[in-house]
Amino acid sequence: MEQYRHEMKIEINASDAAAIRQRLRFVASSDPHAQNGRYEIRSLYFDTPTNRALYEKLDGINRREKFRIRYYNGDLSLIHLEKKCKYNNLTAKRSEEISKMEAQALAAGDTSWMLSKGHVLAAELYRKMKTQQLRPKTIVDYTREPFVYAPGNVRVTLDYHIRTGMLCTDFLNPDCPTAPVGDEIIILEVKWDAFLPDIIRDAVQLEARRCSAFSKYAACRIYG
């Protein structure tokens, strides 16, 4: 059963990011897993031949899901298969660890390992690869600055340097060519459980900025 959390996204500029970063340093903590306050993320997203996940996002479908595999800071010793569910402004994520060999096989379309004992999420993806023809679609790279605040289980992130793998799905290849998605985009994301503390709400408040439906996956589909 997925545990849903509230999520807010806002497209901001470099000046906004600098102000929010300064405020958060006084009230929140940097994620302990970050290196020098940030980390690099690489994801490989899956979609159907008719681009169901993409068009459900673009059409604003209230209930949708996406599958991806992901690792951090180029570390191939820890790779996760993830399923992200969205319902209105609520999100949930399920995750399970897979090996480098399993990730390579999945990126290459080899599903033979996916029904192995213990791979519950992989088994679900396997079924959907068979029934919906889900396949690796595009690589998404970006830099993330994460902040955490214990009351409300709040997580605030600044995401930028977003790059697309274009038509390359060679997920584990560090030399896979990537390209910026366009003008420099910075995404402020705020996630929380039952309540968002006022101290964090104030820290991320910006005049003339409104919640956004920005999707890094959709942006990275610019080349197909």
Residue 201, number of CB atoms within 10 A of its CB: 15
> If you count them, how many residues does the chain have?
224
pLDDT along the chain (224 residues), means of 10: 85 94 95 90 96 92 94 95 92 95 92 90 96 95 96 96 90 90 89 95 87 88 78
pLDDT at 35: 87
> Which CA distances in Å does 213 have to 88, 103, 147, 153, 160?
11, 29, 21, 22, 16
pLDDT at 223: 74
pLDDT at 33: 84
Helix (H, G, I), strand (E, B) or coil at 113: coil
